[in-house]
């Protein structure tokens, strides 16, 4: 942190979890610290910031409800309808039941709305947009918390994202899926811990525990699309985030300090081969089925994603140059 002209705290390039914990102690909690920093850097009053964040919450909730109310199918037709499927099935029981299944269903729902070119909130990215709201909407429901508390949770989640972004760009192209779903799970875990009454230290450890479970996760989308495996990784991210938050609330701490976990994440991300960083060329994308889906989509023309489609995908209003 550095002091600005008027004495308020501004984020600096070396924002760390350790600094965030100290800052939270002075500000009266992580959410207040996050808002104070954002207000200092944007010049917007805290009330306006909360209003903007509440707007984001409304978009998140709308997407979750849409995906759970009926099947939402992706633009390519490759995926969709799974959130609805899960909601219907868990209405009859299910092995987990309760909050975890609802959180997973919400994450799937939002990720499906995203793939269908619907409106979502990137948190931190569009590919990982289901995790933070899936966790927060469900924790709030479980703990009987109002929207003002969920908004608080979103500030905590954003602050955690900022800390991670100080070490590695939040994009699959640069850091692999650990920098998208991994970061989102860390953000969600810290926010869930905060909402359930955990202090700043507990929240940063919740983030670290979640992140450790997703370190090294590669970005290998079939046909390069934000569908397979991204949608289901949102579901997995929710489960890991909730487990991490529960552990941190019980007093369990990450043996490797949170800032060192982020350093490891950055090192791993920078070492990932290009084929496993959002190019659609390795991992699941390179499986026989992954390749077959890509080839089939390429034949469809407009939605094609293979190299061959680049020169051939001139449809509708597009003309060749």
Q: Name which of 6 and 318 has its Cβ closer to other proteins.
A: 318
Selected from 29, 216, 224, 257, the binder of other proteins by CB under 8 A is 224
Q: Which residue in 50, 18, 260, 264 sits closest to 153, CA to CA?
A: 50
Q: Using CA atoms, how far apart are residues 302 and 298, in angstroms rounded to an integer? A: 8
Site for other proteins in 271-300 (CB under 8 A): 278-280, 297
Residue 114 CB, shortest distance to other proteins, in Å, is: 3
Task: Pick one of 16, 74, 138, 204: the residue that binds other proteins (CB under 8 A).
Answer: 74
Residue from 225, 235, 245, 265 in contact with other proteins (CB under 8 A):
225
Measured distance CA(36)–CA(9) in Å, rounded: 7
Residue 5 touching other proteins (CB under 8 A): no
Determine if 311 is a binding residue for other proteins (CB under 8 A).
Answer: yes
Gyration radius from the chain CA atoms: 20
Single out the residue of 139, 202, 211, 223 in contact with other proteins (rule: CB under 8 A).
Answer: 223
Contact characters 229-268, other proteins, x per CB under 8 A: ----------------------------------------
Which residue of 174, 246, 252, 263 would you call a contact of other proteins, by CB under 8 A? 174
Give the SS3 label for residue 80.
Answer: strand
Pairing mode of beta strands 2-3, 9-10? antiparallel
Residue 189 interacts with other proteins (CB under 8 A)? no
Work out how close the CB of 70 gets to other proteins at its nearest, in angstroms, rounded to a whole number: 18
3-state secondary structure of 267: helix
**Are residues 230 and 110 in contact, defined by beta-carbon separation less than 8 angstroms?**
no
70: Cβ contacts below 8 Å, ≥ 6 apart: 84
Per CB under 8 A, contacts with other proteins among 12-71 are 12-13, 15, 34, 37-38, 41-44, 49, 52-53, 55-56, 59
160 Cα distance to chain centroid: 11
């Amino acid at each position: 942190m550095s002091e600005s002209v008027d004495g308020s705290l501004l984020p600096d390039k070396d924002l760390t979890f350790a600094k965030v914990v100290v800052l939270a102690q002075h500000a009266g909690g992580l959410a207040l610290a996050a808002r104070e920093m954002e207000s200092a850097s944007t010049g917007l009053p805290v009330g306006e910031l909360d209003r903007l964040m509440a707007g984001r919450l409304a978009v998140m909730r709308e997407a979750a409800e849409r995906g759970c109310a009926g099947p939402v199918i992706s633009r390519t037709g490759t995926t969709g309808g799974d959130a609805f499927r899960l909601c219907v099935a868990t209405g009859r029981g299910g092995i987990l039941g309760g909050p975890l299944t609802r959180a997973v269903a919400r994450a799937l729902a939002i990720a499906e709305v995203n793939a269908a070119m619907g409106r979502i909130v990137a948190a931190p990215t569009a590919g990982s947009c289901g995790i933070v709201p899936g966790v927060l909407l469900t924790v709030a429901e479980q703990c009987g918390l109002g929207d003002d508390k969920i908004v608080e949770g979103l500030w905590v989640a954003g602050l955690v994202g900022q800390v991670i972004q100080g070490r590695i760009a939040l994009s699959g192209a640069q850091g692999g899926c650990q920098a998208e779903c991994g970061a989102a799970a860390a953000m969600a875990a810290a926010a869930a811990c905060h909402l359930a009454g955990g202090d700043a230290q507990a929240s940063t450890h919740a983030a670290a525990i979640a992140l450790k479970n997703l370190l090294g996760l590669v970005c290998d989308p079939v046909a390069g699309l934000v569908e397979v495996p991204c949608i289901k990784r949102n579901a997995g991210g929710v489960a890991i985030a909730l487990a991490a938050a529960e552990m941190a609330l019980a007093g369990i701490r990450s043996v490797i300090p949170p800032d060192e976990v982020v350093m490891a994440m950055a090192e791993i991300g920078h070492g990932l081969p290009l084929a496993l960083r959002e190019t659609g060329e390795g991992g699941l994308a390179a499986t026989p089925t992954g390749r077959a889906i890509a080839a089939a989509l390429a034949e469809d023309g407009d939605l094609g994603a293979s190299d061959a489609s680049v020169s051939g995908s001139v449809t509708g209003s597009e003309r060749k140059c």
